[in-house]
Structure 1
Amino acid sequence: MNKKARVGVVAVATTGLMALAPLAFANWTAYNWDNKGVNAESQRWSDGDYTQVQFTGCHNGYTSYIADSVDVQVWRVINNWPDDSYDKKTFTACYGAGTSNGEWSEIPTGTAQYYFQIMAIGGKTVGGPTVDVEKVYVDTTKAD
């Protein structure tokens, strides 16, 4: 096999492997993060030593009889092992005109991947409640 052909095979093989891994971003924003139930997970992101998660415009799904709150927990991905969890935060301000803000500063420095998970909606940890969030913002830089 000539050098050009080997480079092409390596490029295709590498691209194929990268396609299998979940994407991780630093800061990111999602709009219309809708119909999320308990245990729903966000996309992954890379982090240093700080994470901020903000929800704006929260509305409970088809269940209007539950409290206006959503519990959010950040997790660090550990391959082939249970993920590490960090403090759970309860977001309520996003149900009004405000923005709910959670900050996690105990995140270990490094290049690990993180995600957040919905742990409860209106205090309910099982069942059918869902939440719609108009804007989700994740920031990994404390300076801004």
Structure 2
Amino acid sequence: MSRFKKIGVAASAASALVFIGAPQASANWSSHIDSWTDGQESRRWSDNGTYSQVQFRDCYAQNAGSSAQKVSLIMWSHIALAPDKKLDTKTFTNCFNGNTSWSNGEWTDVPAGPNTLYFEADKVGNGGSCCLLFVSEVKVDTSKAD
């Protein structure tokens, strides 16, 4: 086998291992957010329905001032080898009212069938990268039944 064929076979085997070993996107998950600004994205998750929910608890928009404590989120559906599909935008305000206050966004415009979804901080506080978002608890749920 020539040197170039050996390199090609080794590279193919290595890329196959990376693909097989890649972590699967989980459908429901919990996390937190530290120091996000406009344009930052969540991790991806799988959704096989037409519904996805994002909840934030105990939010703070640093440098936003008391009258601009809010964040707008855009939900995206990842499309392989094409631009991602922009879904609806939701503005969260209630989670800024104390450490037990939740904001809830429900997206019912998710395309039918299997999807890989993520959300983006579209506008934190007044927007324009002025502010940093902190969220004590983030929950993602893909089941409308609960």
User: What is the TM-score normalised by the length of structure 1?
Assistant: 0.82
Divergent runs of 4+, >2 A: 10-15
Write the letter of the residue equivalent to 2:107.
W
* 8 A Cα contact 1:52 1:138, kept in partner: yes
| Whole-Å separation in 2 of the counterparts to 1:64 and 1:130 | 8
The aligned runs of 1:57-136 (5 Å cut-off) are 57-61=58-62, 63-65=63-65, 67-97=68-98, 98-124=101-127, 126-136=128-138
Aligned partner letter, 1:95? F
Partner of 1:30: 31
SS of equivalent residue, structure 2 residue 138: strand
Distance in 2 separating the partners of 1:59 and 1:44: 23
Size of the aligned set, in residue pairs, is 131
Q: Which runs of 5+ in 1 are unaligned?
A: 1-9
Measure, in 1, the Cα distance between the counterparts of 2:16 and 2:31. Answer: 29
- Residue 4 of structure 2 is matched in structure 1 by none
Gaps of 5+ in 2: 1-11
